[in-house]
Amino acid sequence: MNQPKFKRYKLIAIFLSVPLMAGITIFVGHKIRLNHYAKIIQDCNGQAGKCEGRIEALEGLTKANRLEKLIGQLNNLNFESADLSGIKLSLVDLKGANLRGGNLSDAKLDGIYFNDANLTGVNFSRAYLNMPAFNGANLTDANFTGAELSSAYFNNANLTGAKLKDAYLGSAELRNANLNSADLTGADLHRARLINADLTNSTLMNADLGDAELENANLTNADLRFAYLYNSKLRDANLTNANLRFAYLLYAEFRGNANLTDAKLSGAIYNPATIFPDNFDIKNQKLYLIAPGSQLVGANLSNFNLAGPTISLAGANLSGANLANASFYQGNLARANLSNTNLSGIDLEGADLSEANLTNANLTGADLLGVNLKGAKLVDTNLTGANLTSVNLIDTDLAAANLTNARGLTVQQVKQAKNWQKAKYNRAFAAQLGLPTP
C-alpha cells in the first residue's frame, strides 16, 4: 500500500474522530448530569424546607425539557413545605402537584401550569409569573403580596383568605373564583374578568378595577374604599352592605339587578354616564357629581385622579373644597369657583383655569405647568413654591398673592397680570420686577 496515502487517510480519520469523541463525551456528561438531577429530585421528594441541590436540579431538568417526564415517572410529586424561593422555571405542567405551605417567593415562573394543584398557604410574594394557570387550584391563604401575575388564569380557583396586596393582576381571568375574605388592597385588576366571582368580605381598598368585568359577582360586605371602578361592568352584582366610600365610579355600570342595598357611598364620585340601578335613590347619597356646573362646596376630593381633557368641572362651585394632592392634569376648571380651597400639591399641568376664582386658595407646592390662568382671580392666593412655568397670566388678578419661591416665573409673565405690583415675591425676583425691596 502506498505509505503516504495511508498516512493521509489516517490523519483524516483522526481529524474526524476528535469532534465525534468530544460530542460523545458531552452527550454522556449531559446524560450523567440529568440523571444526577433526577436522583436529587427523587431524594428530595417530600422533604420540607431547603434540600441541597433541589432548585438547581429543577432548573436544569426544565432547561432540558426533562422535568415533566420525571414528574410522570414519580406519579406523586410532593413539594409540601419545600423552600423553592428564587427558583426560575418555564413551560412546566405541575397539574395536581402538592406544594402546600411551600415557599416560592421571588421566583420567576414563565408559563407554569398549576391547575388543580394544592397550593394552600404557598408564599408567592414578589414572584414574577408570566401567564400562569391556576384553574381549579386550591390557593387558600396563599400569599401573592407584590407578585406580578401577568395574564393569569384563576378560573374556579379557591383563593379564600389569600393575600394579594399590591399584586398585578391586569387582564386576569377569575371567573367563578372564590375570593372570600381575600386581601386585594392596592391590587391592579385592570380589565380583569371576575364574572360570578365570590368576593364576599374581601378587601379591595385602593384597588384598580378599571374596565373590569364583575357581572354577577358577589361583593357583599366588600371594602371598596377609594377603589378605582372606571367603566367597570357590575351587571347583576351583589354589593349589599359594601363600603364604596370615596370610590371612583365614573362610567361605571350597575345594570340589571345590581344590588346596592345598605351600600355606603358617601364621598364617591360619579358622572352623568354612570349607570345606577333603577331603584337606587341617588338623592339620599352623599356622592359627588363630576360635571360642568356641579355644586361641590366643601367636597373632599383629595388624592382623586381626575386627569384628562374629558374631565370637566367648568363653572362648578368648589368653594372650600379639599383637592390636596389630586390630579386635574389637562382638566377643565374654567370659570370654576375655587375660593378658599386646599389645592396644595395638586397636579394641574395643562389645565384650563381661565376666569376661575382662586381667592384665598392654597396652592403651595402645586404643579401649574402650562396652566391657563387668563382672567383668573388669585387675590390672597398662596402660591409658595408652586411651579408656574409657562403659565398664562394675562389679566390675572394677583393682588396680595404670595408668589414667594414660585418656580418658573418670568418678569414678562408677571407683568401681563393685573395688580402684580401688589403681590408678594422673594427679594431677588422683586428686584428684577423693579419693585422696592426692604
CA distance linking residue 338 with residue 361, whole number of Å: 7
Q: Work out the average pLDDT over 28-48.
A: 70
Query: What is the H or E stretch that residue 10 is in?
Result: helix 3-44
pLDDT digit string, tens, across residues 104-116: 999 999 989 999 9
Phi, psi values for residue 153, rounded to 5°: -115, 115
Q: What is the pLDDT of residues 285-341, one digit of tens each?
A: 889 999 999 999 999 999 999 988 889 999 999 999 999 999 999 999 999 999 999
DSSP string for residues in 136-169: T-B-TT-B-TT-EEET-B-TT-B-TT-B-TT-B-
Question: In the chain, pLDDT over 90 holds for what percent of residues?
Answer: 74
Q: Left if phi > 0, otherwise alpha if psi is -120 to 50, otherwise beta: which for 248?
A: beta
Read out DSSP for 317-358? B-TT-B-TT-B-TT-B-TT-B-TT-B-TT-B-TT-B-TT-B-
The whole-model pTM stands at 0.86
Top pLDDT among 77 and 299 is at: 299
**pLDDT value for 2:** 55
From start to end of 27-122, where are the E strands?
88-90, 108-110
The three cell numbers locating residue 430? 422683586
pLDDT at 20 over 70: no
212 vs 49, residue with greater confidence:
212
Average pLDDT of the residues of the chain: 89
Structural domains of the chain, ranges and CATH numbers in brackets: 184-289 (2.160.20.80), 290-438 (2.160.20.80)
Q: Which grid coordinates belong to 96? A: 395536581
| pLDDT greater than 60 at residue 381 | yes
